[in-house]
Structure 1
Amino acid sequence: MPFIEHGRGRAYYRHWAATEPRAAVIFLHGFGEHTALYHRYGFALNAAGIDLWAVDQFGHGLTPGTRGDFGSVDESSALAESLTELAEAAHPGLPLVAQGHSFGSVVTLFRLLGQPDRYRVGVVSGAPLTPIPELNSDSAFELDPGWLSSDPFYLDALENDPLAFVDADGAPLARELDKAWDRFGTELPRLAVPTLALHGSADPIAPVAGVRSYADQVEALQLKEFPDARHDLINESVHREVAGTVVNFIDAAL
């Protein structure tokens, strides 16, 4: 796999390339995941003429670091910046889409707020925009795989993939999310980039009510809720519908 050089080490990334791309998605995954879990999504985007660039964040996949420790929001944002530069070099002038899932969605939203002219579209899924009761700085953060998805293919991948996990020290993640929650109340209403928030109505980790509340207040934030779907929405049983919704949103924005 190719990699991005960073002060914390090499961050490995994947690029799913469309034959004749008309847009490029810069993607950041969530806790316990890595880029290889997104092959289906990459192929779905490629079929619609959209490139996908995704990086194994620190502490995940092949990228070094303490398991589950993304580092800071700024460090994750730096990885997304490097991916963006790679996408720009590959196809200068191609419209860019910033996308993130779970913790990756938090980083993505701050990037959209900080660089409103860099990306044409934003997409977030399973966004924890309000505090997660199960997550605190004093204990391990452990997920029940059944909270994540009802798709047997994905659950099998989580169980048998040595690079995927559902538990780790919760302190680093809690630290960064606490900072983010303190900022969202004042900063998120300034969001100007058209952004699609995808969320499962049965998400037990990041309840949809928090996203629904922000979507009611922020004109640029559009919520698409999927009935009975859980947290890892892109890898849920409705993954085809989710991918189609993203493609349609990008089409409309472009």
Structure 2
Amino acid sequence: MHIHEGYFSSTFVTGLFYRCWRPDTPKAIVIVIHGFGEHSGRYDGLATHLVHRGFAVYAPDLRGYGRSPGQRGHIDSWRDYWYDLSMFRNFVAGRERQMPMFVYGHSMGSLVVLDYLTYQIAGLQGAILSGVLLEPGKVANPLLIAAAQLLSRYLPTFSLRLGLDVRALSRDPEVVEAYRKDPLVHNRASARWGTEVLKTIAAVKAQVKNIGDPLLILHGEADRINRVEGAHWLFREVSSTDKELRIYPEGYHEPHNDLQKEQVLHDITDWLERHL
């Protein structure tokens, strides 16, 4: 396995960081888009598993996350993430010419990917969506929403703590402890970020019929961060005829890092192989 780190440019920002895990002769590419507050390095286990099965994995740190520049957890518009994914996909395609390509989005990353797919983007083999952000849990309380809407208008960069319960990420205490100690993890979001998330959830729900790509949806049944009802809604409403839903009993927010991760990794690999 070859591991490479580097930088790419997106719209209005340069020096976005990315990681690549690659076998000698990959049969396909998987682009991984991380969740809120985290970064590409937290996907090393998933990437290593996929590389050993012949897939190359590329994962950026979105603007404001990990080793990329920008205010932590801030965007001017959700379109910023759309550009980051679009430019990164073009960057990867330039390095891995004529290679089948999938995209994998977790939590906030799932919303980035869903928004991207509503534009009926061509050329992808399919998408994997994990911990789907369509029905957020307790962090989306009415008082926090009202404060974000007011501040987004007058002080869009004002930073708020989301109060994320890290114990809800995984039932594996080692995963939770590693998250707590990770210096690249943060728990802050700007007021504008908060309002853009809500706007994008509404936009995706209104345009979900535009998505016809093959989909694999993964969700922990006991996810308190993003409620499982969002995954069920997506599976029911999306136009894709090739779609699969995997709900993991008693599972928490990060299926790939939870106690049933071996089953999750098997499900991911099996789906990717069937869609080459």
Q: Which amino acid aligns with 1:91?
A: E
- The 5 A counterparts of 1:66-215 are 66-135=71-140, 136-137=144-145, 138=147, 140-165=161-186, 167-169=187-189, 171-215=191-235
- Count of residues paired in the alignment: 253
Q: Which whole-Å deviations, capped at 9, do the CAs of 1:120-151 have from their partners, x for residues lacking one?
A: 11111111113544233425311111111112
TM-score by length of 1: 0.92
SS state of the match for residue 225, structure 2? coil
Tell me the distance in 2 between the aligned counterparts of 1:170 and 1:27. Answer: 23
| Cα separation, partners in 2 of 1:238 and 1:173, compared to 1, 3 Å | farther
- The 5 A counterparts of 1:51-66 are 51-66=56-71
Unmatched runs of 5 consecutive residues or more in structure 2? 148-159
Tell me the distance in 2 between the aligned counterparts of 1:47 and 1:72. Answer: 37
| Cα separation, partners in 2 of 1:23 and 1:184, compared to 1, 3 Å | same
Q: Which whole-Å deviations, capped at 9, do the CAs of 1:62-114 have from their partners, x for residues lacking one?
A: 11222222553221122222221232122211111011111111111122221
Residue of structure 1 equivalent to 2:49 = 44
Tell me if the contact between 1:53 and 1:83 (Cα under 8 Å) persists in the aligned partners. Answer: no
Tell me if the contact between 1:41 and 1:234 (Cα under 8 Å) persists in the aligned partners. Answer: yes
More displaced, 42-51 or 148-157?
Answer: 148-157
Q: Could you say what the CA RMSD is over the residues aligned between the two structures, in angstroms?
A: 1.8
Identity %: 27
More displaced, 94-103 or 67-76?
Answer: 67-76
Tell me the distance in 1 between the aligned counterparts of 2:125 and 2:17. Answer: 25
Tell me the distance in 1 between the aligned counterparts of 2:8 and 2:96. Answer: 18
How far residue 160 of structure 1 moved from its aligned partner, in angstroms, is 1.3
Q: Which whole-Å deviations, capped at 9, do the CAs of 1:17-65 have from their partners, x for residues lacking one?
A: 1221111011110111111111111100101111111011122111122
| Cα separation, partners in 2 of 1:45 and 1:184, compared to 1, 3 Å | same
Tell me if the contact between 1:121 and 1:194 (Cα under 8 Å) persists in the aligned partners. Answer: yes
Unmatched runs of 5 consecutive residues or more in structure 1? none
